[in-house]
Amino acid sequence: MNLFFEKNAIQNPILGAEAIWTATKACYKKSSQINGLPFAASFVILPLALHSRTAETLATKNLQGALIKSLSENREIPFGLQERVEELSDLTLASISLAAASGLITLDPVHDRPLVPYTNRHPIQHANQEVKNILAASKRIGHAIAELSFSRLCSILNLKF
Protein backbone atom coordinates (compact mmCIF):
# COMPACT_ATOMS: atom_id res chain seq x y z
CA MET A 1 0.00 0.00 0.00
CA ASN A 2 1.48 3.36 -0.90
CA LEU A 3 1.89 5.95 1.84
CA PHE A 4 -0.22 8.59 0.06
CA PHE A 5 -3.20 6.23 -0.10
CA GLU A 6 -2.75 5.15 3.52
CA LYS A 7 -2.59 8.77 4.71
CA ASN A 8 -5.76 9.64 2.78
CA ALA A 9 -7.57 6.51 3.92
CA ILE A 10 -6.76 7.09 7.58
CA GLN A 11 -7.93 10.69 7.41
CA ASN A 12 -11.11 9.86 5.49
CA PRO A 13 -14.30 9.67 7.59
CA ILE A 14 -16.31 8.80 4.46
CA LEU A 15 -14.33 5.60 3.96
CA GLY A 16 -14.50 5.05 7.73
CA ALA A 17 -18.30 5.41 7.65
CA GLU A 18 -18.55 2.85 4.87
CA ALA A 19 -16.23 0.45 6.71
CA ILE A 20 -18.24 0.77 9.93
CA TRP A 21 -21.51 0.32 8.01
CA THR A 22 -20.09 -2.79 6.31
CA ALA A 23 -19.03 -4.27 9.67
CA THR A 24 -22.37 -3.34 11.23
CA LYS A 25 -24.27 -5.09 8.43
CA ALA A 26 -22.16 -8.23 8.80
CA CYS A 27 -22.62 -8.30 12.59
CA TYR A 28 -26.36 -7.71 12.32
CA LYS A 29 -26.77 -10.38 9.66
CA LYS A 30 -24.70 -12.93 11.62
CA SER A 31 -26.85 -12.36 14.72
CA SER A 32 -30.02 -13.06 12.67
CA GLN A 33 -30.93 -9.36 12.79
CA ILE A 34 -31.38 -9.49 16.56
CA ASN A 35 -28.25 -7.76 17.89
CA GLY A 36 -26.47 -4.78 16.47
CA LEU A 37 -22.78 -4.07 16.67
CA PRO A 38 -21.84 -2.95 20.21
CA PHE A 39 -20.76 0.68 20.27
CA ALA A 40 -17.45 -0.07 22.01
CA ALA A 41 -16.63 -2.75 19.42
CA SER A 42 -16.87 -0.16 16.65
CA PHE A 43 -13.54 1.25 17.85
CA VAL A 44 -11.80 -1.95 16.70
CA ILE A 45 -12.98 -1.81 13.08
CA LEU A 46 -10.91 1.02 11.61
CA PRO A 47 -7.61 0.18 13.38
CA LEU A 48 -7.82 -3.34 11.94
CA ALA A 49 -9.29 -2.55 8.52
CA LEU A 50 -7.05 0.45 7.78
CA HIS A 51 -3.88 -1.46 8.64
CA SER A 52 -2.75 -2.73 5.23
CA ARG A 53 -1.26 -6.10 6.25
CA THR A 54 -4.15 -6.89 8.56
CA ALA A 55 -6.72 -5.91 5.93
CA GLU A 56 -5.01 -8.05 3.29
CA THR A 57 -4.90 -11.04 5.64
CA LEU A 58 -8.54 -10.67 6.70
CA ALA A 59 -9.84 -10.00 3.19
CA THR A 60 -8.68 -13.39 1.93
CA LYS A 61 -10.47 -15.43 4.61
CA ASN A 62 -13.95 -16.94 4.60
CA LEU A 63 -16.36 -15.18 6.95
CA GLN A 64 -16.66 -17.97 9.52
CA GLY A 65 -13.73 -17.66 11.93
CA ALA A 66 -11.87 -15.16 9.73
CA LEU A 67 -10.35 -13.21 12.62
CA ILE A 68 -9.11 -16.30 14.45
CA LYS A 69 -7.67 -17.75 11.22
CA SER A 70 -5.99 -14.43 10.44
CA LEU A 71 -4.48 -14.24 13.93
CA SER A 72 -3.08 -17.76 13.62
CA GLU A 73 -1.60 -16.89 10.22
CA ASN A 74 -0.32 -13.43 11.14
CA ARG A 75 0.67 -13.19 14.80
CA GLU A 76 1.62 -9.53 14.34
CA ILE A 77 -2.01 -8.33 14.10
CA PRO A 78 -2.36 -7.37 17.80
CA PHE A 79 1.01 -5.53 17.89
CA GLY A 80 0.40 -1.80 18.02
CA LEU A 81 -3.37 -2.29 17.87
CA GLN A 82 -4.02 -0.63 21.24
CA GLU A 83 -2.18 2.49 20.06
CA ARG A 84 -4.04 2.49 16.72
CA VAL A 85 -7.38 2.16 18.56
CA GLU A 86 -6.50 5.22 20.64
CA GLU A 87 -5.11 7.22 17.71
CA LEU A 88 -8.09 6.47 15.46
CA SER A 89 -10.79 7.07 18.08
CA ASP A 90 -11.58 10.55 16.71
CA LEU A 91 -11.86 9.17 13.18
CA THR A 92 -14.08 6.35 14.45
CA LEU A 93 -16.41 8.82 16.15
CA ALA A 94 -16.47 11.07 13.07
CA SER A 95 -17.18 8.04 10.89
CA ILE A 96 -20.01 6.82 13.13
CA SER A 97 -21.48 10.32 13.16
CA LEU A 98 -21.27 10.56 9.37
CA ALA A 99 -22.75 7.07 8.91
CA ALA A 100 -25.64 7.94 11.22
CA ALA A 101 -26.22 11.36 9.61
CA SER A 102 -26.23 9.83 6.12
CA GLY A 103 -28.68 7.10 7.08
CA LEU A 104 -26.33 4.13 6.90
CA ILE A 105 -26.67 3.18 10.57
CA THR A 106 -28.68 4.11 13.61
CA LEU A 107 -28.02 3.80 17.31
CA ASP A 108 -30.37 1.39 19.07
CA PRO A 109 -31.09 2.82 22.55
CA VAL A 110 -32.80 -0.39 23.74
CA HIS A 111 -29.75 -2.67 23.58
CA ASP A 112 -26.99 -0.55 25.14
CA ARG A 113 -26.66 1.59 22.03
CA PRO A 114 -25.45 -0.92 19.44
CA LEU A 115 -25.14 0.19 15.87
CA VAL A 116 -27.83 -1.17 13.56
CA PRO A 117 -27.66 -0.84 9.77
CA TYR A 118 -30.38 0.44 7.52
CA THR A 119 -30.81 -2.55 5.25
CA ASN A 120 -32.31 -0.76 2.25
CA ARG A 121 -28.92 0.63 1.19
CA HIS A 122 -26.66 -1.15 -1.29
CA PRO A 123 -22.87 -1.06 -1.20
CA ILE A 124 -20.90 0.99 -3.71
CA GLN A 125 -18.69 -0.93 -6.11
CA HIS A 126 -15.09 0.28 -5.77
CA ALA A 127 -12.35 -0.12 -8.36
CA ASN A 128 -9.42 0.42 -6.00
CA GLN A 129 -8.07 -2.86 -4.57
CA GLU A 130 -6.98 -1.26 -1.27
CA VAL A 131 -10.52 0.01 -0.66
CA LYS A 132 -11.92 -3.41 -1.57
CA ASN A 133 -9.55 -4.98 1.00
CA ILE A 134 -10.60 -2.47 3.67
CA LEU A 135 -14.29 -3.22 3.11
CA ALA A 136 -13.76 -6.98 2.88
CA ALA A 137 -11.78 -6.84 6.13
CA SER A 138 -14.53 -4.73 7.73
CA LYS A 139 -17.11 -7.35 6.80
CA ARG A 140 -15.03 -10.07 8.43
CA ILE A 141 -14.45 -7.94 11.53
CA GLY A 142 -18.21 -7.37 11.90
CA HIS A 143 -18.80 -11.09 11.50
CA ALA A 144 -16.16 -11.82 14.16
CA ILE A 145 -17.74 -9.32 16.54
CA ALA A 146 -21.02 -11.24 16.23
CA GLU A 147 -19.23 -14.57 16.77
CA LEU A 148 -17.28 -13.55 19.88
CA SER A 149 -18.22 -11.76 23.06
CA PHE A 150 -16.70 -8.30 23.37
CA SER A 151 -14.53 -9.40 26.31
CA ARG A 152 -13.26 -12.39 24.30
CA LEU A 153 -12.53 -10.13 21.32
CA CYS A 154 -10.53 -7.76 23.54
CA SER A 155 -8.66 -10.69 25.07
CA ILE A 156 -7.74 -12.15 21.69
CA LEU A 157 -6.58 -8.79 20.37
CA ASN A 158 -4.91 -7.78 23.65
CA LEU A 159 -7.00 -4.62 23.97
CA LYS A 160 -8.01 -2.67 27.05
CA PHE A 161 -11.09 -0.42 27.06
pLDDT at 161: 86
pLDDT at 4: 54
Q: From residue 149, give the alpha-carbon distance in Å to each of 35, 60, 77.
A: 12, 23, 19
pLDDT at 111: 64
pLDDT at 64: 87
Parts of the chain with a pLDDT under 70: 1-11, 109-113, 119-123
Q: From residue 108, give the alpha-carbon distance in Å to each of 3, 34, 36, 53, 115.
A: 37, 11, 8, 33, 6
pLDDT digits (tens, 9 = 90+) for 72-85: 888 899 999 999 99
